[in-house]
Amino acid sequence: MVNNRYKILLVEDEANIRTIIATLLETSDYQVIQADTCIMAKTMFSSYQPDVIVLDLGLPDMDGMHFLEFVRKEQQSLIPIIVLSARAADQDKVEALDAGANDYVTKPFSSAEFLARIRMTLRNYRHSAEEGRLPGGKFHLKDLKIDYDARQVFIGEREIHLSQTEYNIVALLSEHCGKMMTYSSIIKGVWGYSNEGSTKKLQVNMANIRRKFGVKPGENWYITNELGVGYRMNGERE
Ligand code: CA
């Protein structure tokens, strides 16, 4: 039997939650490998080479952050990791994202949103792993087009005239499309350093970008802001 289904390593210690998520994923045609401790997660990770990891942080033997660091640092793996946690504090999200998590879903969550995050994460990972930037150094997302070589941004046929800094922010977010980027990771990527006023500076630039894109208040656009955490370029409408 040829099995082309994506393998998801689900690390969650609460049996009922694990069963609900596993069923949800299996119904959506993913293959699910389950682990209920950090130790077991490490074994499963090495034996099954999953395509994506869904990771609860509150585990009985060790903190889920330990497994996150094991995958990123010891295994040097870029496999997408979606952190699933009841911890809703901004600092926890920022910490997990800065340690290399691709996304963060806070319990309780809706099935539809959770599945959308998985699809988006898998698609963006495949995109960056196999294709890198699109042929000709271009990025496409719905009406948005970025020409990396010419450093130009278009919405449909209209060119958006951005400053160097604004362009760098948009390009950086597009290169990590679908990933929630923390303020500090964007600041480091764009300015190379951060200081007291950096987040404010980033927000001011983002407001300018939004205005130049012609986005009206309350309107959905390509970039979402999670207050206190960071920005994400949306790979899929949620
Ligand atoms: Ca738990």
Task: Return the pLDDT at 216.
Answer: 78
179-222: per-residue pLDDT in tens? 889 999 999 888 887 788 899 999 999 999 999 998 877 777 88
Total residues found in the chain within this entry: 238
Cα separation, 48 vs 217, in Å, equals 46
How far is ligand 1, taken at its centre, from the CA of residue 55, in Å? Answer: 9
Q: How far is the CA of 63 from the centre of ligand 1 (A)?
A: 9
DSSP-assigned letter for residue 216: P
Cα-to-centroid distance, 196 and ligand 1 (Å): 35
What pLDDT does 107 receive? 86
Q: What's the CA angle centered on 228, arms 226 and 231, to 5 degrees?
A: 40
Taking the centre of ligand 1 as the mean of its atom positions, its distance from the CA of residue 76, in whole angstroms, is 25
Q: Nearest CA to 194 among 98, 101, 69, 90?
A: 98
Tokens encoding 19 = 């069963």
Note the pLDDT tens digit of each residue in 130-153. Answer: 444 444 578 888 889 998 888 899
Q: Is the pTM for the entire model greater than 0.85?
A: no
| The pLDDT of residue 45 | 95
Quote the ligand 1 centre to 88 CA distance (angstroms).
14
Phi, psi of 147 (to 5 degrees): -100, 105
C-alpha 197 to ligand 1 mean position (Å): 36
Lookup: tokens for 225: 């802001």
pLDDT tens digit string along 21-65?
Answer: 999 999 999 999 999 999 999 999 999 889 999 999 999 999 999
Q: What's the CA-to-centroid distance between 114 and ligand 1, angstroms?
A: 17
- 229 vs 156: CA distance, rounded Å: 30
**Position of tokens 């309780």?**
108
Which of the residue ranges 89-93, 156-160, 194-198 has the most confident prediction, judged by mean pLDDT? 156-160
pLDDT, mean over the chain? 87
What whole-number distance in Å separates Cα of residue 34 and Cα of residue 49? Answer: 13
Residue 160 Cα to ligand 1 middle (Å): 45
- Give the span between the Cα atoms of 218 and 13, in whole angstroms: 38
Q: Cα of 15 to ligand 1 centre, how many Å? A: 9
Burial 124-140 (b: 16+ CB within 10 A, else e): bbebbeeeeeeeeeebe
